Structure 1
Amino acid sequence: MLRGALALLLDFEEDIEVVGQAGDGKEALALIAQLKPDVCLLDIEMPLMSGLEVAEEVQQMQSPCRIIILTTFARPGYFERAVQAGAQGYLLKDEPSERLAEAIRRVMEGRREVSPELVFGTVRDINPLTEREREILKLAAAGKSSSEIASTLHLSYGTVRNYMSEVLGKLGAKNRIEAIALAEEKGWI
């Protein structure tokens, strides 16, 4: 319902045409490939694939589509991932439609648009995890054992255990479940 209302409001703008709507991340990715829009608004939390995952895939496709992430969360890791994924906009979902339309126009001009409230929320916690540690923690979050992670990443079992030990120490977590919960809450994985 919200997606439809937003599309309707944006369609009222003379210089903006909504060419597609998706109910989940996989559908969004397929529509981006098919319709080749100039700008794509992505909810940060969608079923099947998050907006961040879709943005990362769009970047790998080297699509000229500009990405604006919409969120209600001021989580530091989300902003960091959005920037790394090449998102040109990172805005609050409850922005007025006029502000969103103006942000779309500015992104089309090559500018970046970020809600100030979201930027200030990101400076509190810096992600202490390396790329490899995040990769291992993501696999652990997906339910993989240390042996399976080692096999997937072509590492030794001992190396995976060492990485996991580093993760626990950096996050101050007692076990991998606590580490996963903390990293997900911060938006780091």
Structure 2
Amino acid sequence: MKLLVAEDQSMLRDAMCQLLLMEEDIEGIFQAKNGKEAIEMLENQSVDIAILDIEMPQKTGLDVLEWIRSKDLPIKVIVVTTFKRVGYFQRAVKAGVDAYVLKDRSITELMNTIHTVLAGRKEYSPELMESIMSHENPLSKQEENVLKLIAAGMTSKEIASQLYLSDGTIRNYTTSIFTKLGVNNRVEAINKAQENEWI
């Protein structure tokens, strides 16, 4: 089988490719240092599987995945990442990723993943499934609305006026948001909610 490995850290990419080439069923590997290069290669080369890092310059692994699916190419896509960000995972699944796994795995485990997707099955790291389960949005719809307006730089008074509520009610919502998110101030609340894509 032929692979494309797209990874912006050259040492990691080289090491991964050398180890994969030692596997008997790997015929050849194309290497890309960013998402744009990966797409250019895929336009000219036929590969069975694309192994993509997420955070790369110019275009991300998720951009490459979405491009592959938009072209309806018969390529299996494995995303390997150090990030347990729920938003990334959800976007990858929505785009039809075949496997989404963390980088801290052995080549043997990666080969198992390759054979899993070639057999037409999906594979997602259990750690990611756990993080999704534990990242359910704790905020109510109204609390989300309040926090969005806080993020837009509005004061409690301005938010109260916009939502037709009293200033005291908005302050109560704000306190509730801080408690649910386990934060101490507006900036922390905004950062946490945006990281988890709750707002």
Distance change >3 Å, CA 11–CA 170, structure 1 → 2: farther
| Aligned mates of 2:117, 2:111 — CA distance in 1 | 10
In the superposition, relative to structure 1, how do residues 79 and 170 fare at CA in structure 2: closer, same or farther (>3 Å)?
farther
Counterpart contact for 1:10–1:18, Cα < 8 Å: no
- Relative to structure 1, the CA distance from residue 16 to residue 124 in structure 2 (aligned partners, 3 Å threshold; closer, same or farther) is same
Distance 2:146 2:76 in 1: 35
Structure-2 change in CA distance of 1:65 and 1:173 (3 Å): farther
- Name the CA shift for 1:29/1:176 in 2 (closer, same or farther; >3 Å): farther
- Which of residues 95, 99, 105 is equivalent to 2:109? 99
Residues 64, 170 of structure 1: alpha-carbon distance in 2 compared, 3 angstrom cutoff: farther
Quick one: distance in 2 between partners of 1:183 and 1:53?
23
Corresponding residue of 2:91: 81
Task: Note if 1:66 corresponds to 2:42.
Answer: no
Deviations 1:4-46, CA, capped at 9 Å, x for gaps: 1001101110012343010001101111221121110000111
Three-state SS of the structure 1 residue aligned to 2:129 is helix
- For residues 35 and 58 of structure 1, what CA distance do their matches in structure 2 show? 13
Q: CA RMSD in A?
A: 2.8
Give the letter for the 1:44 counterpart: I
| Equivalent residue, structure 1, for 2:170 | none
CA–CA distance in structure 2, aligned partners of residues 11 and 35 of structure 1: 18
Structure 1 position 188, deviation (Å): 7.7
Query: Is the radius of gyration larger for structure 1 or structure 2?
Result: 2
Residue number in structure 2 paired with 1:110:
120
State the alpha-carbon separation in 1 of the partners of residues 60 and 107 from structure 2: 22
Match of 2:151 in 1: 175
Assess, with a 3 A threshold, how the Cα gap between structure 1 residues 71 and 183 changes in structure 2: closer, same or farther. Answer: farther
In the superposition, relative to structure 1, how do residues 114 and 17 fare at CA in structure 2: closer, same or farther (>3 Å)? farther
Counterpart residue type for residue 71 of structure 2: M
Q: Which residue of 2 aligns with 1:45?
A: 55
Alignment of 1:1-16 (within 5 A): 1-16=11-26
Structure 2, gaps ≥5 residues long: 1-10, 154-186
Of structures 1 and 2, the one with the larger relative CO (CA 8 A, separation 6+) is: 1
Q: TM-score, normalised by structure 2?
A: 0.67
- Structure 1 residues without counterparts, runs of 5 or longer: 129-165
Give the match for residue 30 of structure 1: 40
**Number of matched pairs:** 152
Does structure 1 retain, via aligned residues, the 8 Å contact 2:62–2:91?
A: yes
The secondary structure found in structure 2 opposite 1:19 is strand
Q: Which has the higher strand share?
A: 2
Match of 1:162 in 2: none
* Identity score, percent: 43
Partner Cα distance (1:88, 1:64) in 2: 12
Moved more, 13-22 or 104-113: 13-22
Alpha-carbon distance between aligned partners in 1 of 2:41 and 2:125, rounded to the nearest angstrom: 26
**TM-score, L = length of structure 1:** 0.70
